[in-house]
């Protein structure tokens, strides 16, 4: 997505003043928001400030206290890149607002952090939350001028760096990077990216480019490595996939212990490949999808808590020259169920109000992130707009080319917009909304694109946006018919405020769509219970445990085949172990 398009802006301003563009000729939805789409809770803009010049956000995650951490890259003093991340705690936010640097007012972000060396390439590609920590995966420049994959652990509360781990290059002088990081049900991290890329092969990641060479890898870090205050010396295991260029997405498959891996093959035009891995990274099956182009993200689908398949998104040009987004859904064995192409939305706010769907040859639709919903559907994050009018310029007499150029210079979509689309399990579009940041002090919409979408613990939807002025955080209210039947404990709990729930028998907890919960006394547990009075959960120290409304605080430990008693008032946690008649702090 182009952040600034001077040529397009100048020409559009001239033609609009001359009356050459008439929204009255447009058809379709005037606002770009379908009737079923959730409403805006708030849209926050963050300028350059402490996160660096020209920041480009690409990813985000929710923290245990209900805040959001966003990361990406920005320009450093030498004109190259730094990695950045910052945290927002959305207290009382509403409408359009500009967030200030910490300490500059009530409406500010909580903290920021950057890393990198001036005039060198460094960046954040992906984020994950585990417990009260945030993990940033990306790349950092080293002394030989190449880049190494870096995984850094930060405190969620204040942004202080706890440790950083640099994955060594296998071959000196070549580059590597983490492109994806995801938390796992056992409290670990599954990561992926590329290695053996040319020294200058990291043109970029996500919406600011693709690496031009390399081989894909996956690396797993255990819960003990993740929770430690000391950086790991190596992953618990690593697997390389030399026939793939890089890893575009990796997710745990529920609580099965397996992973679904989305890679981009070396052969142009970045053919997608899905791979199912077991808990040690061994390949169970692999499928390629040659009719699809550049892949960007993958998610695991489930309906009412039952796994149904996988979905991956991306975008690619056709022989006609049209670049649209695509969405493909496969079953648990990788067989295609359906695929959809979409884009070219009509309508919008401000200068986009009432516009038609436009010329498909001009408009690019690029999807970057996907999240599954509890009803078996999915949310797709997209940027939509015109890459620029320059390709259509020329002195030849091609009337088609001249006509397209004339369309381009009067079309306001040379400023991009963010788009979120909801599809159901059968591929039907449920709703769509196209948004632009409207400055609260007045003025017109500027260029924007949705880079990633997060389904929040309270059912709200976070869109991480790249804005012409910096970073945008668009938060939507929960869907009107949103259900959480896959997690009956969360759906039945009473609202205790600030996204916390209260179970009448298990107590207070903060629930996340991934299945992780922060319990007020037990701490972090993983559980997606399908019963109101009986719960299996995973605890990093105890392993898998079972309890019920009639048994709690007695817990059955599956691995040890024994009962323990949890003293709910203890801190640190105390358990009575009946096998050796002793209290233990676990």
Instruction: Give the chain's radius of gyration (CA, Å).
Output: 24
User: Nearest Cα to 433, choosing from 467, 483, 477, 482?
Assistant: 477
First to last CA, the chain: 49
pLDDT for residue 395: 60
3-class DSSP state of 469: coil
pLDDT for residue 8: 32
Which residues, including other chains, have CB under 8 Å from residue 336's CB and lie 6 or more apart? Answer: 289, 328, 329, 330
With pLDDT > 70 as the criterion, what percentage of the chain qualifies?
91
Q: Hey, CA dihedral for 227, 124, 385, 449, is it positive or negative?
A: positive
**Which DSSP symbol is given to 4?**
-
Q: How far apart are CA 334 and CA 395, in angstroms?
A: 49
pLDDT for residue 15: 31
Name the β-bridge partners of 149: 139, 167
pLDDT for residue 282: 97
Q: How far apart are CA 378 and CA 142, in angstroms?
A: 39
Q: Give start and end residues of each alpha helix (H) in 337-486.
A: 399-410
Name the β-bridge partners of 493: none
Largest CA distance in the chain: 91
Cβ 432 vs Cβ 476: under 8 Å: no
Q: Is 406 left (phi over 0), alpha (psi -120 to 50) or beta?
A: alpha
Q: Tokens 């649209």: give the residue.
A: 324
Provide the residue ranges of all domains of the chain, joining segments of one domain with +: 121-285, 488-585
Q: How far apart are CA 122 and CA 124, in angstroms?
A: 7
Categorize the per-residue pLDDT at 319 as very low, low, confident or very high, splitting at 50, 70 and 90: low
What is the mean pLDDT of the segment spanning 206-226?
A: 89
**Which DSSP symbol is given to 131?**
T
pLDDT for residue 238: 97
Peptide bond into 572 cis (omega under 30): yes
Which residues, including other chains, have CB under 8 Å from residue 467's CB and lie 6 or more apart? Answer: 45, 437, 446, 447, 448
What is the mean pLDDT of the segment spanning 515-542?
A: 84
Given a cut of 50, is residue 20 above it in pLDDT? no
Q: What HEC string does 5-62 produce?
A: CHHHHHHHHHHHHCCCCCHHHCCCCCCCECCCCCCEEEEEEECCHHHCEEEEEEEEEE
Name the β-bridge partners of 283: 277
Look at the chain and count its residues.
Answer: 586
**Which DSSP symbol is given to 375?**
B
What is the mean pLDDT of the segment spanning 8-29?
A: 34
What is the mean pLDDT of the segment spanning 92-110?
A: 88
At 446, list the tokens: 């500027």
Kindly report which listed range (82-86, 237-241, 302-306, 504-508) carries the lowest average pLDDT score. Answer: 302-306
The CATH architecture assigned to 121-285 reads: Beta Barrel (2.40)
- Tens digits of per-residue pLDDT, 225-283? 998 999 999 999 999 999 999 999 999 998 788 999 999 997 677 899 999 999 999 99
Q: How far apart are CA 372 and CA 360, in angstroms?
A: 28
- Tens digits of per-residue pLDDT, 342-373? 999 999 988 999 899 999 989 999 999 999 99
3-class DSSP state of 138: strand
Categorize the per-residue pLDDT at 562 as very low, low, confident or very high, splitting at 50, 70 and 90: confident
Given a cut of 60, is residue 11 above it in pLDDT? no
> Where are any strands of DSSP class E within 343-435?
363-372, 378-386, 417-423, 429-435
Angle at 160 between CA 158 and CA 166, to 5 degrees: 145
Cβ 346 vs Cβ 366: under 8 Å: no
């Amino acid at each position: 997505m182009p952040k600034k398009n001077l040529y397009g802006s100048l020409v559009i301003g001239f033609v609009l003043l001359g009356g050459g563009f008439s929204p009255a000729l447009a058809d379709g939805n005037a606002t770009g928001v379908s009737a079923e789409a959730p409403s805006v809770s708030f849209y926050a803009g963050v300028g350059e400030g402490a996160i660096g010049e020209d920041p480009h956000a690409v990813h985000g995650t929710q923290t245990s206290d209900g805040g959001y951490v966003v990361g990406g890259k920005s320009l450093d003093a030498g004109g190259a890149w730094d990695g950045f991340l910052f945290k927002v705690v959305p207290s009382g936010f509403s409408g359009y607002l500009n967030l200030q640097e910490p300490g500059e007012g009530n409406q500010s972000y909580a903290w920021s952090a950057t890393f990198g060396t001036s005039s060198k390439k460094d960046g954040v590609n992906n984020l994950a939350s585990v417990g009260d920590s945030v993990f940033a995966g990306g790349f950092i420049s080293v002394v030989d001028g190449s880049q190494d994959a870096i995984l850094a652990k930060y405190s969620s509360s204040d942004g202080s760096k706890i440790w950083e781990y640099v994955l060594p290059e296998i071959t000196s002088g070549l580059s590597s990077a983490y492109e994806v990081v995801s938390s796992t049900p056992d409290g670990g991290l599954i990561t992926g990216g590329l290695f053996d890329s040319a020294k200058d092969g990291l043109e970029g990641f996500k919406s600011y480019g693709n690496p031009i060479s390399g081989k894909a890898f996956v690396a797993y870090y255990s819960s003990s490595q993740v929770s430690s205050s000391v950086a790991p010396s190596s992953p618990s295991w690593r697997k390389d996939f030399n026939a793939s260029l890089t890893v575009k997405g990796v997710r745990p498959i529920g609580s099965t212990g397996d992973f679904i891996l989305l890679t981009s093959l070396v052969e142009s035009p970045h053919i997608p490949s899905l791979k199912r891995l077991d808990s040690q990274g061994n390949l169970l099956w692999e499928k390629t999808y040659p009719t699809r182009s550049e892949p960007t993200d993958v998610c695991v689908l489930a309906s009412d808590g039952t796994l149904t398949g996988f979905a991956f998104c991306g975008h690619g040009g056709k022989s006609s020259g049209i670049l649209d987004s695509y969405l493909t859904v496969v079953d648990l064995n990788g067989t295609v169920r359906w695929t959809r192409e979409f884009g070219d939305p009509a309508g919008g706010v401000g200068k986009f109000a009432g516009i038609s769907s436009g010329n498909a040859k001009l408009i690019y639709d690029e999807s970057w992130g996907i999240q599954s919903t509890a009803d078996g559907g999915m949310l797709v994050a997209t940027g939509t707009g015109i890459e620029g009018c320059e390709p259509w310029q020329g002195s030849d007499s091609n009337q088609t080319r001249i006509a397209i150029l004339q369309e381009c210079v009067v079309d306001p979509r040379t400023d991009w917009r963010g788009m979120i689309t909801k599809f159901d399990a059968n591929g039907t579009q449920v709703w769509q909304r196209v948004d632009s940041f409207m400055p609260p002090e007045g003025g017109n919409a500027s260029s924007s694109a949705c880079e990633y979408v997060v389904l929040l613990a309270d059912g709200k939807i976070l869109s991480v946006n790249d804005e012409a002025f910096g970073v945008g955080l668009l938060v939507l209210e929960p869907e009107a018919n949103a259900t959480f039947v896959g997690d009956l404990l969360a759906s039945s709990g009473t609202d205790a405020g600030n996204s916390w729930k209260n179970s009448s028998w298990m107590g207070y907890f903060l629930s996340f769509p991934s299945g992780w919960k922060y319990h007020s006394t037990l701490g972090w547990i993983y559980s997606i219970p399908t019963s109101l009075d009986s719960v299996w959960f995973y605890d990093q120290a105890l392993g898998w445990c079972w309890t019920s409304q009639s048994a709690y605080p007695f817990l059955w430990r599956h691995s040890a085949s024994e009962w323990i008693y949890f003293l709910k008032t203890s801190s640190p946690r105390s358990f009575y172990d009946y096998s050796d008649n002793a209290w233990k702090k676990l």
